[in-house]
Amino acid sequence: MSGTYETPGGTHETPGDPHGGRDRPGHRAALALGDDALVLAQRLGEWAGHAPELEEDVALANIALDLLGQARTLLSLVGDEDKLAYLREEREFRNVQLVEQPNGDFAQTIIRQLYFSVYQELLYGQLAGCRPEDATPVAALAAKAVKETAYHRDHAEQWTLRLGDGTEESHRRAQHAVDALWRYTGELFQPVEGLDVDWDNLRATWTTSVRSVLEQATLRVPEGPQSAVWAAGGGRQGVHTEPFGRLLAEMQHLHRSHPEASW
Amino acid sequence: MTTVLPERGPGGDVGGGVGADEAALQAAFDAAISADERIEPRDWMPDGYRATLIRQIAQHAHSEIIGMQPEANWITRAPSLRRKAILMAKVQDEAGHGLYLYSAAETLGVSRDELLDKLHSGRQKYSSIFNYPTLTWADVGAIGWLVDGAAITNQVPLCRCSYGPYARAMVRVCKEESFHQRQGYELLLALSRGTPAQHAMAQDAVDRWWWPSLMMFGPPDAESAHSAQSMAWKIKRHGNDELRQRFVDICVPQAEALGLTLPDPDLRWNEERGSYDFGEIDWSEFQQVLKGNGPCNEQRISQRRRAHEEGAWVREAAAAYARKRAAAPSNEDGRR
């Protein structure tokens, strides 16, 4: 079987692709949200043993585990979770660029988490709120995961307040993260095929919510553009940022080195 | 030296008393120990008992958090999502063990900050086993099976330790450790039964981890600096050699079931003793690693220090924010 992926130049076959049918709308949706969760879990996993205090080692691992759990459920709706995670190339991943951004300092990690978990909670909330007769497997996952996402959002908000309204140094670092990651937030509201979501409402609610947290944290809400200008598109089209290739190289290396093995 | 709070008598008075009072307190303590009663934080206890517990619990807590490093080394590279989730949860458990062991130590009148400072400056130790590197994925399995297995053998008796908070912490730690041990065994089993390359990876890991695991029980009883007094205080319940033998006897049949060999030509069943005989342990290696000459001593402690130093501004921010909130109680934001 072979799968397909899209670039601005059109739809391409991926030769030898082990899992077909990814072009169905439900699958596209599961893949987009599953890749978001997988890639952010991978990033958060890098913190293990490096957190500023023991409580945060526990908390960040906890969030990573929740996200990894979501990713496994979502990817399994599309095909074999391990084939999807370990054998796809960079251009076949559908996660937003925000989640692949390097951890940076703790402020960068927290602001990335704030932007993403506010989005994820609103998105899952809308999906979970659909009429029961319209419920898709993705909506079922969303209904379950929205509770843990609310905890992730709360964790990020509390830390945003502490960092923004803490010391001069923490304020400076938090503001830098807020500004640097802002350009990856526009992509969050790009409609994903197969998801019954009011995207304009999602953007408006996200903006209100994030703005309120930042203001409370005495941080300046950026005024710059929420996306870089490039016709190639973004993560949802399989166009990623440079650090993403290295993330995949590290994640996939062992699995790919033993093609016949099971673990 | 460890910091020690002024002792409290049973009535809660700060013990300035000497002579007869002290003798009576000591007698009550001795009676409690011999009756197998638990000593609790507010009970009077001899300075030496307190200092021994602080040293041991701190070393145990430090081992949990340093022990996160060799395993976290493989989180980003775990070869399946299921294994990644298991490993992440395990490393998270270790952070959790660290948390409640530091809390147990705090009941003795030291702070986590003080203890971390002693770890970072090399004045307190952690288990030497974590000064060995995790070179392949199979090492994650070997650590689970052998290192956690040895830790459990050591720690199960600590659930009956005379100091209440430590004993209670160990009940939970042991439950989670035994889960980790089974997961490590299962990981190795999958490798051993997998491709030839996977089998070789598993065997290589066991070859490297077997002897260091045996050293985890500490030097022979005759040479152990703290054993006798700890046994008398019922902090420790069994000698190092007895626990080491128990561990060997458990592992040999498990290695056979795994289809892996233990790297000891002298390992054989002794009918008379009802135990396995095993070869001589290279105690010079143990002493060297203890002194700082293991393969990863410098790396482990540097990473720990770096994480702590790089996190300083975060902890300061949290403290500054908390102070601001405390100073403005009317400004309650009502967020929950």
Output the pLDDT for position A2: 39
| Kind plus residue range of the DSSP H or E element containing B113 | helix B112-120
Name the residue facing B311 among A45, A106, A250 (closest C-beta): A106
Q: Could B76 and A46 be called an inter-chain contact, meaning their C-beta atoms sit closer than 8 Å? A: yes
**8 A C-beta contact, residue B63 and residue B126:** yes
**pLDDT band at residue B4, thresholds of 50, 70 and 90?**
very low
* Residue of B69, B88, B112 to mutate, interface with A, max A Cβ within 10 Å: B88
Name the residue facing B317 among A86, A170, A258 (closest C-beta): A170
Name the residue facing B92 among A61, A72, A163 (closest C-beta): A61
Mapping DSSP to helix (H, G, I), strand (E, B) and coil, where does residue B14 land?
strand
- Locate the chain B residue with the closest alpha carbon to A67: B85
Please report whether residue A239 resides in a domain. yes
Taking contacts as CB-CB distances below 8 angstroms, the residues of chain A near B312 are 52
- Locate the chain B residue with the closest alpha carbon to A58: B92
Q: Range with the lowest mean pLDDT among A23-27, A223-227, A250-254, B99-103?
A: A23-27
- Locate the chain B residue with the closest alpha carbon to A105: B310
Cα–Cα distance between B269 and A230 in angstroms, integer? 71
Q: ipTM surpassing 0.90, yes or no?
A: yes
Please report whether residue A263 resides in a domain. no
Please report whether residue A52 resides in a domain. yes
- Looking at CA atoms only, how far is residue B140 from chain A in angstroms? 12
**pLDDT band at residue A1, thresholds of 50, 70 and 90?**
very low
**What is the C-alpha R_g of chain B?**
22
- Please indicate whether residue A168 or residue B10 has the higher confidence score (pLDDT): A168
**8 A C-beta contact, residue B88 and residue A64:** yes
Please report whether residue A151 resides in a domain. yes
CATH number at A112 reads 1.20.1260.10
Please report whether residue A237 resides in a domain. yes
What residues have CB less than 8 Å from B113, skipping those under 6 apart? Answer: none
- Looking at CA atoms only, how far is residue A133 from chain B in angstroms? 32
pLDDT above 50 for B258 = yes
Q: What is the pLDDT of residues A114-161, one digit of tens each?
A: 999 999 999 999 999 888 887 889 999 999 999 999 999 999 999 999
Output the pLDDT for position A21: 54
Output the pLDDT for position A231: 75
Q: Could B316 and A167 be called an inter-chain contact, meaning their C-beta atoms sit closer than 8 Å? A: yes
Average pLDDT, chain A: 91
Q: Could B99 and A58 be called an inter-chain contact, meaning their C-beta atoms sit closer than 8 Å? A: yes
Q: What is the pLDDT of residues B305-328, one digit of tens each?
A: 999 999 999 999 999 999 999 998
pLDDT above 50 for A15 = no
Q: What is the average pLDDT across B87-93?
A: 97
- Looking at CA atoms only, how far is residue A106 from chain B in angstroms? 8
Output the pLDDT for position B15: 46
Name the residue facing B321 among A45, A165, A255 (closest C-beta): A165
**8 A C-beta contact, residue A156 and residue A113:** yes
Please report whether residue A158 resides in a domain. yes
pLDDT above 80 for B146 = yes
- Looking at CA atoms only, how far is residue A9 from chain B in angstroms? 32
Q: Could A258 and B197 be called an inter-chain contact, meaning their C-beta atoms sit closer than 8 Å? A: yes
Output the pLDDT for position B5: 43
Name the residue facing B88 among A65, A71, A255 (closest C-beta): A65
pLDDT above 80 for B16 = no
- Looking at CA atoms only, how far is residue B81 from chain A in angstroms? 6
Name the residue facing A262 among B84, B194, B303 (closest C-beta): B194
Name the residue facing B84 among A56, A68, A258 (closest C-beta): A68
Please report whether residue A60 resides in a domain. yes
**8 A C-beta contact, residue A35 and residue A94:** yes
Output the pLDDT for position B223: 84
Q: Could A64 and B88 be called an inter-chain contact, meaning their C-beta atoms sit closer than 8 Å? A: yes
- Our measurement of the distance from residue A17's CA atom to the centroid of its chain's CA atoms, rounded to an integer in Å, reads 24
Q: What is the average pLDDT across B43-61?
A: 96
pLDDT above 90 for B99 = yes
Cα–Cα distance between B165 and B50 in angstroms, integer? 13
Query: How many domains is chain A partitioned into structurally?
Result: 1
Cα–Cα distance between A248 and A243 in angstroms, integer? 9
Cα–Cα distance between B147 and A236 in angstroms, integer? 44
**pLDDT band at residue B199, thresholds of 50, 70 and 90?**
very high
Taking contacts as CB-CB distances below 8 angstroms, the residues of chain A near B314 are 52-53, 56, 106, 163, 170
**pLDDT band at residue A35, thresholds of 50, 70 and 90?**
very high
Output the pLDDT for position A26: 84
- Our measurement of the distance from residue B262's CA atom to the centroid of its chain's CA atoms, rounded to an integer in Å, reads 24
Q: Which residues constitute the domain of residue A225?
A: 4-255
Q: What is the pLDDT of residues B20-35, one digit of tens each?
A: 788 999 999 999 999 9
Cα–Cα distance between B136 and B181 in angstroms, integer? 18
- Locate the chain A residue with the closest alpha carbon to B202: A263
Cα–Cα distance between A3 and A19 in angstroms, integer? 6
| Token output for A43 | 């990033």
Output the pLDDT for position B224: 77
Q: What is the pLDDT of residues A58-93, one digit of tens each?
A: 999 999 999 999 999 999 999 999 999 999 999 999
Average pLDDT, chain B: 92
Q: Widest CA span of chain A, in angstroms?
A: 57
Please report whether residue A203 resides in a domain. yes
Q: What is the average pLDDT across B85-98?
A: 97
- For chains A and B, count residue pairs whose Cβ atoms are closer than 8 Å: 142
Q: Could B303 and A49 be called an inter-chain contact, meaning their C-beta atoms sit closer than 8 Å? A: yes
CA angle A141, A110, A63 (to 5 degrees): 35
Nearest to A149 by CA among A43, A34, A70: A70
- Looking at CA atoms only, how far is residue A69 from chain B in angstroms? 8
Torsion of CA B86, B90, B95, B101, to 10 degrees: 150
